[in-house]
Chains A and B, each alone.
Chain A
Amino acid sequence: MSYRLNYLEELEAEAVFVLREAFAQFEHPCILFSGGKDSIVVTHLAAKAFAPGPIPFSLLHIDTGHNFPETIQFRDELTARLNVRLVVGKVEDSIQRQTVQEESGPNANRNRAQSITLLESMESNGFDAAIGGGRRDEEKARAKERFFSHRDAFGQWDPKNQGPEIWHLYNGRKNQGEQFRVFPISNWTELDVWEYILKENIALPSLYFAHHRPCVRRKESILAQSPYLISHASDQLTDLNIRFRTIGDMTISGAMESSASTVAEIIAELKEMNQSERGNRADDFRSESSMEDRKKEGYF
């Protein structure tokens, strides 16, 4: 036997350590579950971390109301199979309460509103930490994230004033009302996530695999036709063979043309392809620092 971990095993051991630290250091942590591959992998890791016991966290889903039906179906099957509690925070409820104002205009979406609903849901459920699938390789603001990332009483991130995080001594102490975000797979890249999904044979929503769907093209983006998509005069509906590389709500998740129908084919395609993972996210296009700005406000 060789006493050496390969890179996926080392990343897995690190992520499990972080999940257990979150369990030990916070009173009431939850897993922020979007139905995307990263939060599915985090949930899979949590199942391993506490085996043979159950996952000791609730899953919190922030529902914009503009979901892919496939995501919701997958979410419900997964929570039933793992026997974990599901908490759903609805953006619609925040709109009703008037804590969120719906955006208007041709590119309106509920992406930003999610931050407010997230904070409201955490408060009403008493969650003091949210564990997510954020990765440092996704975006330049995320490259500076800690494993244990502090949020003030307003849920704000202060990137210039982050506490030091050294070796793997994570400091989760906080004052009343403050919270943490915890990112167990910080050091994973998109490709690492896919390699791990392949190795562990992790089930994913069908949206990740090539399928035919009516879509509209806008500039370089391909968006799925849906009742929530505000139609533009120039929209032309086309049936395309596509898959989604990231899954958010239906109005912002850009699709890509692809015939990759298995995890192995997706990995092969990713290695060939030369585009950023979030290159297709309409929400990241708004300005050069849009992610940083949203994170400061409490976005994941």
Chain B
Amino acid sequence: MTQTKDILRFTTAGSVDDGKSTLIGRLLYDCKQIPQDQIDLVQRISKRKGLSEIDLSLFTDGLKDERAQGITIDVAYRYFTTENRKFIIADTPGHLQYTRNMVTGASTANAAIILIDARKGVVEQTRRHSFIASLLQIQHLIVCVNKMDLVNNSKEAFEQIVSSFQDFSAKLAIVDVQFIPVSALNGDNIVHRSEKMDWYQGATLLHTLENLSVANEINLIDFRFPVQHPIRVDQGSVQDYRAYAGKIESGIVRVGDEIMVLPGQQLSNIKSIMGMNGPQMEAFAPQSISLELTDELDISRGNLLVKPNNQAEEVRQLSATICWMSSQAYIPGRKYILRHTTNEVKAMLKSVLYVYDMETLVRDEERSELRTNDIARVELQLAGPIYVDAYRKNKATGSFILIDEQSNQTLAVGMIS
């Protein structure tokens, strides 16, 4: 069992009134992943609040201020596991002012759960979440139409929402969308099939999560190995060992393969691969390994190893979609540090082409200033070359962050196209 058990990372966005916390609470509770002492505690609090049933939303309770305000402020990570999968939930707030948190939560996700209140249908927040999911190239969307109990578990109500969602999502770059009618409060179609919605023939939420295929999301074609740091050993039984530590971001590498170092384009061959359990003959993404080469080259942190017949593109200018994360405003002409894989280079924002209006998702070409939570299309000028792929082909070599040199804050995150 353990041999094949894998990890699925998914994100949820929403506010308390959507029933997001209740949905996650229900998922954990019905999967029997909540320890009895926590159940007892939440039961006591629920009683104190005068509720007749346990308030499942309390299981995902957060920081002091969040409890006081009844909202999620930051991304919270939660975990549960079934026989064949470990799940990592990036639980994020859904309001406009937390766009950046949604972006963060979506960055590592294989799937996104979009919650729709059956009484309200597709609303602005639904569109925003879906847009962010497509922007970050999340492969799978699971649309949960929640609170079905409040619309008499009506098939028509569900189908109407499905169709209005499809109207708008056709424009988004999402590979796979599934719709599930649920009631998080009553536990319908979350872990257990609903008896009240016998018209629904599809899978429950848990079954869907357990069976999403994520194998094809790892790019095993384009070998990309950003060097984290050299490892040099010359003591005891290990003489004159010189290797490069890193994580394979994509592709496969074997002992004997010819590789190219970027920048510089020097060629060499793989002499040895040190894996987690000693030397190995081949390695693949996302393994952390150390590579020893047949030649002594000058390689340092930030260099990228590729195959000579499959190189990343050298660029000194970037066209990218960025999300402005900081409360610190964008200052035209100011130089930032651009961090791409393990590499850093100085960069300047040359122009803002347009900013998305996050309420209407329409491009605003008039605006040139950037504020917290803005998602914009920009052009950057770099002080030196970096080696990139388009984000849709390779998330690791297609993404970057912008850091302020003075405050050291991460100001913006970007996707290269």
Contacts and interface: CB of A to CB of B under 8 A. Distances in A.
13 contacts: A4-B215, A6-B3, A7-B5, A12-B276, A13-B288, A16-B288, A20-B229, A21-B342, A24-B228, A50-B231, A52-B241, A166-B104, A187-B79
Interface string B235-250: 0001001000111000
A171 B409 CA distance: 8
Please list the 6 inter-chain residue pairs (A to B) with the smallest Cβ-Cβ separation, ordered nearest first.
A173-B408, A16-B288, A274-B36, A53-B233, A276-B35, A20-B228
B286 A10 contact: yes
B286 A13 contact: yes
Contact of A17 (B36, B108, B228): B228
Contact of B2 (A23, A144, A195): A195
A17 B247 contact: yes
Given A10-B286, A16-B288, A52 B78 contact: no
B198 interface: no
Contact of A276 (B37, B100, B104, B229): B37
Interface residues of B, number: 69
Nearest to A142: B77
Interface stretch (A155-163, A208-216, A223-231): A155-163
Interface of A: 1, 3-14, 16-17, 20-21, 23-24, 48-53, 136-137, 140-141, 143-144, 159-160, 162-169, 171, 173-175, 186-187, 189, 191-192, 195, 199, 274-276, 279, 289, 292
A171 B339 contact: yes
Contacts of A140: 61-63, 76
Given A166-B104, A276-B35, A173 B79 contact: no
A162 B288 CA distance: 27
A3 B100 contact: no
Given A4-B215, A13-B276, A136 B65 contact: no
Contacts of A4: 6, 215, 218
A13 B35 contact: no
B7 interface: yes
Interface string B274-307: 1010000010101110100000000001000000
Interface of B: 2-7, 35-38, 61-65, 73-79, 81, 85-86, 88, 100-101, 103-104, 107-108, 215, 218, 220, 228-229, 231-233, 238, 241, 245-247, 252, 274, 276, 282, 284, 286-288, 290, 301, 325, 337, 339, 342, 395-396, 399-401, 403, 408-410, 413
B231 A53 contact: yes
A164 to B, nearest CB: 5
A14 to B, nearest CB: 8
A5 B285 CA distance: 9
Contacts of B37: 274-276, 279
A247 B10 CA distance: 32
B6 A274 contact: no
B86 A192 contact: yes
A21 B228 contact: yes
Contacts of A141: 63
Given A12-B276, A13-B247, A16-B276, 18 more contacts: A1-B282, A5-B286, A9-B287, A11-B7, A14-B288, A20-B245, A21-B342, A52-B274, A140-B61, A159-B74, A160-B65, A163-B409, A166-B399, A166-B413, A167-B399, A171-B339, A173-B403, A276-B37
A17 B259 CA distance: 21
A173 B38 CA distance: 38
Contact of A171 (B7, B246, B403): B403
A13 B284 CA distance: 11
B286 A6 contact: no
Contacts of A162: 74
Nearest to B234: A53
A173 B245 CA distance: 21
B88 A187 contact: yes
Contact of A3 (B62, B220, B274): B220
A160 B38 contact: no
A270 to B, nearest CB: 10
A173 B2 CA distance: 38
A20 B400 CA distance: 19
B416 to A, nearest CB: 12
B108 A167 contact: yes
A195 B3 CA distance: 12
Contacts of A1: 282
A148 to B, nearest CB: 10
A168 B9 CA distance: 14
Contacts of B108: 167-168
A124 to B, nearest CB: 24
Contacts of B81: 189, 191
B77 A187 contact: yes
A160 B74 contact: yes
Contacts of B74: 144, 159-160, 162
Given A52-B241, A143-B76, A159-B74, A24 B413 contact: no
A164 B100 contact: yes
A52 B2 CA distance: 28
A168 B7 CA distance: 16
A175 B2 CA distance: 44
Contacts of B403: 171, 173
Given A7-B5, A171-B339, A171-B401, A52 B233 contact: yes
B282 to A, nearest CB: 7
